[in-house]
Structure 1
Amino acid sequence: MSKLPLDPDVADVAPTDSALTPYDNQHIVTYARLLQAESEGADWREVARIVLHIDPDHEPDRAQNAYLSHLARAKWVTGQGRLLRGAGSN
């Protein structure tokens, strides 16, 4: 069984599929970090820079869109119970 990277690069927009995707499985840690940052009131620009590896000073629209779409996906994954059970659960 291969280990997932803890800090993978992200796409410009998170998936919107109605089922968990391989991308979601690869980004469970990213989703958890986004949710934690939001719960702590972190500035989205700092989160985009650190968690998503996108510089909001150089690419503000891309950074904000990636942040918003990945945060929404993280909430969806959590709502499905996937984040808490782990990526391999059904």
Structure 2
Amino acid sequence: MECRLGCGACCIAPSITSAIPGMPHGKPAGVRCIQLNDDNLCDIFGSPERPAVCSAFTAEHSICGDSNEFALQQLIELEDITR
């Protein structure tokens, strides 16, 4: 599955413990990444500065479903389960 451009759920729901440009201590779950622009696209996509966890994420229908809202809810639930 290809990512839905403008979804951004994977840049909001999960916590990220590694440094992100502009967020040197990572980000807590539910906080919008500073690199997520107004169009919900990653400003550092493809950059070596992008955290490995972000680069490793691949869209899957079971996680992302057919809507941005579904993806956000699924990722929030996965974050809660893995705390």
Please indicate, yes or no, whether the TM-score normalized by the shorter chain is above 0.5: no
- The structure that is helix-richer by fraction is 1
Could you tell me the TM-score, scaled by structure 2's length? Answer: 0.30
